[in-house]
């Protein structure tokens, strides 16, 4: 998928359509303090096995692409729902 670096889209802070610059965001490390992760670690302790079935087979053919939009007017960032793409690049 090829996307331009700048697009005109809706800004949630300005409440109007403005020019936004787009940048790709890397996924940060998941927190160990979240309830799901604490529960997972608790179940993993002791003599029990793995709490859920291990994924079998190959990886998914596409990856999630996270994009961050910066408003050209107010300078604030917002992030839309991520999309899936096999290959992602910006058009200059």
User: Cα dihedral sign for 36, 39, 41, 43?
Assistant: negative
8 A C-beta contact, residue 54 and residue 5 = no
Q: Is the pTM of this model over 0.85?
A: no
For the segment 41-91, what is each residue's pLDDT rounded down to a tens digit? 999 998 988 888 887 888 889 999 999 999 999 999 999 988 999 999 998
What distances in angstroms separate CA 11 from CA 2, 38, 77, one per listed residue?
22, 36, 9
* Selection from 15-24, 26-35, 42-51, 56-65 with the highest mean pLDDT: 15-24
Write down all domains in the chain, each with its CATH number in brackets. Answer: 1-27+62-92 (3.10.450.80)
What does the alpha-carbon distance between residue 16 and residue 39 come to, in Å, rounded to a whole number? 43
Q: How confident is the model at residue 20 (pLDDT cuts 50, 70, 90)?
A: very high
């Amino acid at each position: 998928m090829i996307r331009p670096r700048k697009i005109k889209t809706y800004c949630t802070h300005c409440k109007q359509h403005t020019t936004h610059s787009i940048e790709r965001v890397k996924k940060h490390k998941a927190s160990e303090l979240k309830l799901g992760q604490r529960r997972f670690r608790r179940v993993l302790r002791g003599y029990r096995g793995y709490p859920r079935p291990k994924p079998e087979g190959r990886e998914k053919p596409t990856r999630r692409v996270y994009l961050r939009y910066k408003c050209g007017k107010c300078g604030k960032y917002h992030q839309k729902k991520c999309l899936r793409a096999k290959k992602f690049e910006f058009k200059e």
